A = this chain, B = another copy of it.
Amino acid sequence: MLSERRLQVLRAIVQDYVGTEEPVGSKALTERHSLGVSPATVRNDMAALEEEGYIAQPHTSAGRIPTDKGYRLFVDKLAGVKPMSPPERRAIQNFLEGAVDLDDVVARTVRLLAQLTRQVAVVQYPSLTRSTVRHVELLALAPARVMLVLITDTGRVEQRMVDCPAPFGEASLADLRARLNSRVAGRRFTDVPTLVEDLPEAFEADDRGTVSTVLSTLLETLVEENEERLMIGGTANLTRFGHDFPLTIRPVLEALEEQVVLLKLLGEAKDPGVTVRIGHENAHEGLNSTSVVSVGYGSGGEAVAKLGVVGPTRMDYPGTMGAVRAVARYVGQILAES
C-alpha cells in the first residue's frame, strides 16, 4: 500500500505533467506544490512509484511521466469530477436551447463538447432499441410498394421501402396503419415484436403476405444495429496532441472513421456514471495513446445513448469528466422537452 504522501506525489506529477506536457522532476515538484518535504525525499517516493509501475521515465535522467496505471489510480482515487461553474452551465444551456430538431441537437452537442474540452467529441444518436414508438406511418407509393416511416419519441425518423408480394388496397393499408399504431404507439421498441405477432391473422388471406412483409421490415428496422449512427467533431483539436505528429494522430483519425469501433467503444462502458478508459484499456490499438471519457444520456431517467470525448491520455480528467457529465445532463433535458 502506498503512503498518503506518495499518493500526493503521484497526484502532483499528474497535474504538472498535464499542465506542462513535460516530464516532471523532483525539484520542480517541491517548488510548485507545498509537500513539506525536500526533493531528495520526493525522489525516494518517485523510485517507489516507478517500482510499482505508476510512473516511468522516458529515458534515464529525465523527469517522470505517469503511466496508464498511474492515470487510472489518479482518476479512481485522487481526483473527483470538477463541477462546471454556474456561468458555464448557463452557457451550455443557452447553446443547446436553440436547436430545432434532433440532428441539430446532436450537432450542437458535438460542437459544444469539442469546444468545452478542446478535444474530439463523439455523440451517439439516441438509440432506437431503447426508445419508444411515437408513430408508424404507411404510404402507398404504388399498388405493390409501401413506404414505412417510423417516428420515435426522441424525434428520430427512419424510413424503409417495402415491396409487397401482392397488391395492397388503400383500405387494407389504412386498416393496418390503424391497428399497428393502436398496438405499438408509446411502447418500447423491445416490446414491439410480441405486440404485433398475431396481427396478420386479423387480415384476409390475400393480404396476409403483405402484412407479414411490412411487419418484418418494421422489426428489421428496430434492431438494425448499423443504424446506430454517431457524429464526431473537434478533430482539429488533435493537432494539439503532442510533438510527434504523424505517428500519433494518424491511427486516431483512422479509428474515428470506423464508426463501428467507436460504437463498440461507447457501448462497452456499462457504468451508470462517467466512464473513463485510459490508453491500453481501449481495445482498439489505434487508440492506445488516447483516453475516452463517456457517459450515457437520455430523455427520461434512462440512458438511450452515449456521448463522450477522445483525447490524449495526458488530459485534464476532472475537468473533462465534469464537462461531459454536465453536457449529458442538459442534452437529456432538451430531449425530454421536445
Contacts and interface: CB of A to CB of B under 8 A. Distances in A.
Interface stretch (A34-42, A48-56, A232-240, A313-321): A232-240
A203 interface: no
Interface stretch (A9-17, A69-77, A249-257, A328-336): A249-257
A134 interface: yes
Interface stretch (A18-26, A135-143, A271-279): A135-143
A172 interface: no
Contact of A238 (B101, B229, B253): B253
A137 B135 contact: no
A246 interface: yes
Contact of A137 (B139, B229, B239): B139
Contacts of A28: none
Contacts of A134: 141
Given A137-B137, A157-B149, A234 B257 contact: yes
A30 B137 CA distance: 70
A147 B135 contact: yes
A245 interface: yes
Nearest to A158: B157
A182 interface: no
A44 interface: no
Number of copies: 2
Given A147-B135, A149-B137, A239 B246 contact: yes
B233 A239 contact: no
Contacts of A246: 239, 245
A8 interface: no
Interface in A249-288: 249-250, 253-254, 256-257
Contacts of A236: 250, 253-254, 257
Contacts of A229: 103
Contacts of A137: 137, 139, 149
Given A141-B134, A236-B257, A250-B236, A151 B147 contact: yes
Contact of A157 (B159, B234, B249, B250): B159
A82 to B, nearest CB: 26
A147 B150 CA distance: 12
Interface of A: 101, 103, 134-135, 137, 139, 141, 147, 149, 151, 157, 159-160, 229, 233-236, 238-239, 245-246, 249-250, 253-254, 256-257
18 contacts: A101-B159, A134-B141, A135-B147, A137-B139, A147-B151, A151-B159, A157-B157, A233-B257, A235-B253, A235-B256, A236-B250, A236-B253, A236-B254, A236-B257, A238-B253, A239-B245, A245-B245, A245-B249
Q: Which 6 A-B pairs have the closest CB atoms?
A: A236-B253, A239-B250, A245-B245, A236-B254, A157-B159, A239-B246
Given A103-B229, A157-B157, 19 more contacts: A101-B159, A135-B139, A135-B147, A137-B137, A137-B139, A139-B151, A147-B151, A234-B257, A235-B235, A235-B256, A235-B257, A236-B253, A236-B257, A238-B253, A239-B245, A239-B249, A239-B253, A245-B245, A245-B249
